Structure 1
Amino acid sequence: MSGKKKFVKVVVLGDFGRSPRMQYHCTSLSEIGHQVDVIAYGDTDPMDSVKRDPFIFYHYLLPVPQLPIRLVNYIFKTIVQSINLLFLLFITNKSDILIMQNPPAIPAMIICWIYTTIVGAKFVIDWHNYAHTIMALNVGQTNPLVKITKKVEVVIGRRADYNFCVTKAMKEDLRKKWNIEAITLYDRPPLMFKPILVEEKHEFLLKFGKSYHSIFLGEEDKETALTKVVNDVVSLKPARPGLLVSSTSWTEDEDFSVLLTALQDYEKQSQEGNLRKLPQLICVITGKGPLKEYYLQKISSLNWKHVSIITPWLEPEEYPLILASSDLGVSLHTSSSGLDLPMKVVDMFGCGLPVCAFNFKCLNELVKNGENSFIFDSSEDLSKQILNWFEDFPNNQWQQQTEQKFKTELQAFQNLRWKENWKAVAAPVF
Structure 2
Amino acid sequence: MTDISKKKNACIVVLGDIGRSPRMQYHALSLVKEGFQVDIVGYSGSTPISDLLESDSVHFQYLPLVPDFKNYLPNLLAFVFKVFFQAITLFWCLNARLTNIPHYLLVQNPPAIPSIFICWLYCLLFNVKFIIDWHNYAYTILSLSLGQENMLVRLSRVYERYFGRFSKANLCVTRAMRSDLKENWNIEARTLHDRPPDRFRPTSRKEKHALFEKLSSDYPGLLDFVHLDEKDATYPGLVVSSTSWTEDEDFSILFKALTLYDADPNNTTRLVVMVTGKGPMKQYYLDQIREKTWVKIMIYTPWLSPEEYPMLIGCADLGVSLHTSSSGLDLPMKVVDMFGCGVPVCAKNFACLHELVRHGENGFVFDTEEELCEQLSQCFQDRSLRKKLADQVSVFRRQSWHENWKANAMPLFT
Asked if 2 retains the 8 angstrom alpha-carbon contact of 1:12 and 1:100, the reply is yes
Match of 2:412 in 1: 429
Match of 2:256 in 1: 261
Match of 2:222 in 1: 216
Give the C-alpha shift of residue 208 in structure 1.
2.1
Match of 1:174 in 2: 181
Match of 1:40 in 2: 42
The secondary structure found in structure 2 opposite 1:99 is: strand
- Say which of 238, 244, 247 aligns to 1:249: 244
Correspondence 1:244-393 to 2 at 5 A: 244-269=239-264, 273=265, 276-391=266-381
Q: Aligned equivalents of 1:13 and 1:372: distance in 2?
A: 34
Asked if 1 retains the 8 angstrom alpha-carbon contact of 2:104 and 2:131, the reply is yes
Scaled by the length of structure 2, what TM-score is found?
0.95
Q: Displaced runs of 4+ in structure 1, greater than 4 A? A: none
The secondary structure found in structure 1 opposite 2:15 is: strand
Matching of residue 146 in structure 1 with residue 136 in structure 2: no
Asked if 2 retains the 8 angstrom alpha-carbon contact of 1:227 and 1:237, the reply is no
How many residue pairs align between the two structures?
403
- Say which of 4, 7, 17 aligns to 1:15: 17
Match of 2:92 in 1: 87
How big is each residue's C-alpha offset from its partner over 1:332-374, in whole Å with a ceiling of 9 and x where there is no partner? 0010001000010001001110110000000000000001100
- The letter for the 1-side match of 2:254 is L
Q: Aligned equivalents of 1:65 and 1:242: distance in 2?
A: 44
Asked if 1 retains the 8 angstrom alpha-carbon contact of 2:213 and 2:226, the reply is no
Matching of residue 236 in structure 1 with residue 236 in structure 2: no
The secondary structure found in structure 2 opposite 1:260 is: helix
Q: Aligned equivalents of 1:42 and 1:211: distance in 2?
A: 26
- Say which of 388, 397, 405 aligns to 1:405: 388
Gaps of 5+ in 1: 218-224, 230-234, 392-398
Asked if 1 retains the 8 angstrom alpha-carbon contact of 2:177 and 2:329, the reply is yes
Match of 2:3 in 1: none
Match of 1:58 in 2: 60
Asked if 2 retains the 8 angstrom alpha-carbon contact of 1:170 and 1:340, the reply is yes
Correspondence 1:191-210 to 2 at 5 A: 191-210=198-217
Q: Aligned equivalents of 2:389 and 2:296: distance in 1?
A: 27
Q: Aligned equivalents of 1:197 and 1:308: distance in 2?
A: 23
Q: Aligned equivalents of 1:329 and 1:205: distance in 2?
A: 18
Q: Aligned equivalents of 2:284 and 2:67: distance in 1?
A: 22
- The letter for the 2-side match of 1:57 is H
Q: Aligned equivalents of 1:203 and 1:319: distance in 2?
A: 14
Q: Aligned equivalents of 2:168 and 2:26: distance in 1?
A: 21
How big is each residue's C-alpha offset from its partner over 1:202-260, in whole Å with a ceiling of 9 and x where there is no partner? 222222223212x112xxxxxxx12448xxxxx63523011111000111101010100
Q: Aligned equivalents of 2:383 and 2:411: distance in 1?
A: 43
How big is each residue's C-alpha offset from its partner over 1:147-181, in whole Å with a ceiling of 9 and x where there is no partner? 11111211111110010000000000000001100
Q: Aligned equivalents of 1:405 and 1:114: distance in 2?
A: 51
The secondary structure found in structure 2 opposite 1:211 is: coil
- The letter for the 1-side match of 2:379 is W
The secondary structure found in structure 2 opposite 1:238 is: coil
Point out the more displaced range, 303-312 or 49-58: 303-312
Give the C-alpha shift of residue 304 in structure 1.
2.1
Gaps of 5+ in 2: 1-5
- The letter for the 1-side match of 2:361 is E
Point out the more displaced range, 294-303 or 251-260: 294-303
Point out the more displaced range, 277-286 or 198-207: 198-207
**In angstroms, what is the RMSD of aligned CA positions?**
1.4
Give the C-alpha shift of residue 70 in structure 1.
2.0
Match of 1:220 in 2: none
Give the C-alpha shift of residue 288 in structure 1.
1.1
- Say which of 169, 190, 194 aligns to 2:197: 190
- Say which of 409, 413, 419 aligns to 2:402: 419
Q: Aligned equivalents of 2:62 and 2:206: distance in 1?
A: 39
Percent sequence identity over matched residues?
A: 49
Matching of residue 77 in structure 1 with residue 82 in structure 2: yes
Residues 363 and 97 of structure 1, relative CA distance in 2, 3 Å threshold = same
Matching of residue 127 in structure 1 with residue 134 in structure 2: yes
How big is each residue's C-alpha offset from its partner over 1:35-74, in whole Å with a ceiling of 9 and x where there is no partner? 1111100111101111111111011111112214321221
How big is each residue's C-alpha offset from its partner over 1:252-297, in whole Å with a ceiling of 9 and x where there is no partner? 101010100101111222xxx4xx1412211100001111121112
- The letter for the 2-side match of 1:5 is K
Match of 1:395 in 2: none
Q: Aligned equivalents of 2:158 and 2:319: distance in 1?
A: 37
Asked if 2 retains the 8 angstrom alpha-carbon contact of 1:116 and 1:122, the reply is yes
